Structure 1
């Protein structure tokens, strides 16, 4: 099974499709979304309110964190491979 996977990856790379990039995008996205999700949950627990201002503020801060960290993390992971 392992040889089959390795042979298929080799064939895909021969076609000129880089297999590592989508994997790196998935890993970096998962890490950033996981960390920002924890922040989002903690922020909403910190300010328990019916006021939607805190919910919108938390969402905006979470999106800023995602945008700020996903690209440098992707570049950092790309340098390891």
Structure 2
């Protein structure tokens, strides 16, 4: 609920910018959680999954930042 707060009133370019900003925030949270798993987990499967999440989300953050008009 908190992630999409404020998007309801957005329109046009504002909704696009709000969406990208919230998705970047969401992806950064996933990267932070993956970093914790990589630092603390000894389970190879969890570590593999966490590294995959970190790689994918970091790449997507870069893509979204490049798209953002206010770069």
Higher fraction of helix: 1
Work out which structure has the larger RCO, using CA pairs closer than 8 Å and 6 or more positions apart in sequence: 1
What TM-score does the superposition give when structure 2 sets the normalisation length?
A: 0.45
What TM-score does the superposition give when structure 1 sets the normalisation length?
A: 0.40
User: If you compute each CA radius of gyration, which structure gives the higher value, 1 or 2?
Assistant: 1
